[in-house]
Amino acid sequence: MEIIIKEQESKGFAMAREDGKRAGEMTYSIPASDFIIVDHTEVAPGFEGKGVGKQLLYKIVEMAREKNLKILPLCPFANAMFKKLPDIQDVLKKY
């Protein structure tokens, strides 16, 4: 599975593709220079249950680490993953 990240001004997204088909997308906004807000995760029909959302989140976490950013997970899926996965807690933005 290929996952790319694109940003434009104050928004960004990670998109997963497999065999030329869009498998899923996770969107985020950039309200400040030190953190991003993950606000939506969508997995395409036929790709549910294959870990697409988790792979998208890991790609955004990797990008956040490279840019020294924190992540505020307002998306219910991303929020649940942050509670479940201790290996990504280092980029979780604390309130």
Tell me whether residue 18 is exposed, middle or buried, using C-beta atoms within 10 angstroms of its C-beta: 0 to 12, 13 to 18, 19 or more.
middle
Question: What digits encode the pLDDT tens for the residues 38-62?
Answer: 999 999 999 999 999 999 999 999 9
Ordered alpha helix ranges (H), 1-95: 52-67, 76-84
Residue 85 has pLDDT above 80, yes or no: yes
Residue 95 has pLDDT above 90, yes or no: no
Residue 79 has pLDDT above 80, yes or no: yes
Q: What is the mean pLDDT of residues 73-82?
A: 98
Cβ proximity of 23 and 44 under 8 Å: yes
Tell me whether residue 86 is exposed, middle or buried, using C-beta atoms within 10 angstroms of its C-beta: 0 to 12, 13 to 18, 19 or more.
exposed
Confidence of residue 80 (pLDDT cuts 50, 70, 90): very high
Q: Give the relative orientation of helices 76-84 and 52-67 as an angle to the nearest 10 degrees.
A: 80
Could you tell me the pTM of the whole model? 0.96
The third-level CATH classification (topology) of the domain covering 2-91 is Aminopeptidase (3.40.630)
pLDDT at 94: 84
- The full set of domain ranges for the chain reads 2-91
Q: What is the mean pLDDT of residues 80-88?
A: 98
